[in-house]
């Protein structure tokens, strides 16, 4: 989230301090509509696959929208699973927009044919984000499944043809696609689309493949330099731990969980952040009396997250102001203390702890809906990764 | 930061595309057209924004909000920035 801080008459405490104490409503609300998905990406943050029979009904979803409108949640980031698999997806989208809750939705493109693209082009206040994780079918399909690259490209073609305007292409940066950053940018430029790159966290199914897929220390440096040179590339403010390399990346450099960030999952459970699907971070359910607003305002967990936290082992680090100790979800699912360094601390301070935890000891993500057992990434030898876009 | 000239003696209004949400520090202003989020970092400035529409000039709104004359210049800077991001506009 990038916000303008209009020059103000009275200097209040720094912005991050204001945000740390929490807001009247979230700014970055993710709402996952279904656990159903046609794909089975190895790093799926919500471990999606099968629909959950307890998912919110159309009427219940509309009640949530009404509530978001009352709370003045300006927009919701809709995801899943694959949200367009819900038969009422388009109705919910129209309902939401009509109720002044803008929709930014992520899709793998499965339902985004010509007709859908034309419909979207006619709807105001909708942002579409197409996910790919490789600039070539080879790299992408290794993580997202055979045929998923072609499917995503078809959806992009449809949007471009329908004159949708600037859509987003969203990438999770991994060890295997970091060398394709320029190629991703090229694809986005060709479509007149906006590139969005975000951080891989060990959440959902990614808990099982994070060790193999997260960028190496050298790649993190490369990524930081690449991002610094391209301020037009969106990051969802997800790489703020890289700010410890030097000047801070644009955006909000702090963990927003429970403060400005929140998740409503398909069954109505509210979590502090989309990347902490675990009992320990579940704040309540929208079906409870008082609904989402009450959970946001009164949950013990969220209140605790808004209190000043100790910096732990990061307290003595000169970069703490820039990096704030990194991502809570990344620490939690790698078994690191929440008040210490991020597992990908650019100064390497996460390494010793990380080396001492092993996969079976780490907390397991809950709420998994994978269709099969554990997925494993198809590993591609580095020398076989094309660094130019296949067009 | 922003040094856009701001005419305190013109009439302004909060953009109809903007939604203001009260927050402990002031308010968040979201522009549904540009999709930009702006921060209004004091409750007093929020009051001024809400009064713009019913006054013939920004200065009139400042007076009505009880802003002392000596603070006008600082408010003008803030209003200029908000005009710059289309949160408010001349009418
Ligand atoms: S030690 Fe902590 S604050 Fe310092 S760079 Fe590492 S994660 Fe950031
Ligand atoms: S836990 Fe990580 S992903 Fe979630 S808000 Fe905090 S920094 Fe962002």
Tell me which H or E stretch contains A129: strand A126-131
B21 in contact with A, Cβ within 8 Å: yes
| A12-26 burial: b if 16+ Cβ within 10 Å, else e | eeeeeebbbebbbbb
Per-residue pLDDT tens digits for B45-88: 999 999 999 999 999 999 999 999 999 999 999 999 999 999 99
- Does the CB atom of residue A347 touch ligand 1 within 6 A? yes
pLDDT the model gives residue A15 = 66
Q: Report, as an integer, the average pLDDT of B15-29.
A: 94
Name the token pair of A129: 């984000």
Longest dimension (CA), chain A: 57
Interface test with B, best of A7, A16, A296 (most B CBs within 10 A): A7
pTM of the full predicted structure? 0.90
Q: What is the mean pLDDT of chain B?
A: 92
pLDDT at B42 over 80: yes
Selection from A75, A77, A71, A76 nearest residue A24 by Cα: A71
Ligand 2 centre from A275 Cα, in Å? Answer: 7
Q: Which residue of chain A is at minimal alpha-carbon distance from B37?
A: A3
Degrees, nearest 5: CA angle A27-A129-A291: 35
Name the token pair of A319: 């970069």
List chain A residues with pLDDT less than 70: 1-15, 372-391
Distance, in Å, from the CA atom of A129 to the CA atom of A106, rounded to the nearest integer, reads 5
Phi first, then psi: what are they for B61, rounded to 5°?
-65, -40
The partner residues of A282 in beta bridges, in order of sequence, read: A271
Selection from B55, B56, B26 nearest residue B41 by Cα: B26
Ligand 1 centre from A108 Cα, in Å? Answer: 34
Q: Which atom of ligand 2 is nearest to the CA of A254?
A: 7
pLDDT the model gives residue B30 = 95
Ligand 2 centre from A351 Cα, in Å? Answer: 20
Dump the DSSP string for chain B.
-------TTS-EEE-TTEEEEEETTEEEEEETTTTEEEEE--HHHHHHHHHGGGSSSHHHHHHHTT--GGGHHHHHHHHHHHHHTTSEEE-
Phi first, then psi: what are they for A64, rounded to 5°?
-65, -45
- Does the CB atom of residue A254 touch ligand 2 within 6 A? no
Instruction: Indicate yes or no: CB of A7 within 8 angstroms of CB of B38.
Output: no
Q: Which residues of A are less than 8 Å from B25 in CB distance?
A: 12, 18
| Residue whose CA lies nearest to ligand 1 atom number 8 | A325
Coil vs helix vs strand at A116:
helix
- Does the CB atom of residue A253 touch ligand 1 within 6 A? no
Where along chain B do its domains lie?
43-90
B45 in contact with A, Cβ within 8 Å: yes
Name the token pair of B48: 């001024």
């Amino acid at each position: 989230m990038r916000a303008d801080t209009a020059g103000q008459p009275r200097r209040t405490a720094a912005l991050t301090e204001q945000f740390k104490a929490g807001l009247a409503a979230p700014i970055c609300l993710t709402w996952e509509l279904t656990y159903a998905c046609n794909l089975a990406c190895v790093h799926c943050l919500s471990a999606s696959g099968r629909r959950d029979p307890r998912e919110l009904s159309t009427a219940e979803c509309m009640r949530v929208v009404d509530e978001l409108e009352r709370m003045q949640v300006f927009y919701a980031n809709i995801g899943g699973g694959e949200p367009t698999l819900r038969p009422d997806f388009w109705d919910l989208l129209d309902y939401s927009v009509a109720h002044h809750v803008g929709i930014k939705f992520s899709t793998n493109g499965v339902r985004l044919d010509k007709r859908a693209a034309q419909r979207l082009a006619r709807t105001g206040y909708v942002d579409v984000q197409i996910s790919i994780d490789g600039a070539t079918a080879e790299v992408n399909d290794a993580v997202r499944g055979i045929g998923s690259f072609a499917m995503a490209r078809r959806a992009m073609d449809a949007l471009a043809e329908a004159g949708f305007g600037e859509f987003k292409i969203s990438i999770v940066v991994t060890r295997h696609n970091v060398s394709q950053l320029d190629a991703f940018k090229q694809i986005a430029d060709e479509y007149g689309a906006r590139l969005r790159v975000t951080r891989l966290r060990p959440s959902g199914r990614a808990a099982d493949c994070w060790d193999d897929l997260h960028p190496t220390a050298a790649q993190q440096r490369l990524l930081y330099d690449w991002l610094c040179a391209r301020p037009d590339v969106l990051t969802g403010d997800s790489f703020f731990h890289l700010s410890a390399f030097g000047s801070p990346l644009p955006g909000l450099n702090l963990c927003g969980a429970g403060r400005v960030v929140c998740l409503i999952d398909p069954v109505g459970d509210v979590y502090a952040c989309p990347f902490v699907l675990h009992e320990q971070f579940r704040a309540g359910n929208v079906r409870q009396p008082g609904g989402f607003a009450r959970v946001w305002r009164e949950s013990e967990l969220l209140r605790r997250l808004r209190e000043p936290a100790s910096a732990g082992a990061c307290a003595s680090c000169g970069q703490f102001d820039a990096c704030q100790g990194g991502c809570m979800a990344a620490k939690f699912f790698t078994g690191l203390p929440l008040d210490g360094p991020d597992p990908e601390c650019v100064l390497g301070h996460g390494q010793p702890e990380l080396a001492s935890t092993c996969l079976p000891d780490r907390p397991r993500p809950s709420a998994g809906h994978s269709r099969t057992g554990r997925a494993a990434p198809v590993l591609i030898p580095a020398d076989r990764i094309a660094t130019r876009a296949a067009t | 930061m922003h040094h856009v000239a701001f005419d305190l003696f013109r009439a302004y209004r909060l953009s109809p595309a903007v939604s203001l949400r009260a927050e402990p520090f002031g308010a968040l202003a979201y522009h549904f057209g540009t999709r930009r989020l702006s921060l209004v970092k004091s409750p007093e400035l929020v009051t001024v924004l809400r009064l713009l529409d019913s006054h013939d000039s920004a200065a009139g709104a400042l007076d009505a909000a009880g802003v002392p004359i000596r603070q006008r210049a600082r408010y003008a800077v803030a209003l200029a920035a908000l005009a710059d991001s289309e949160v408010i506009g001349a009418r």
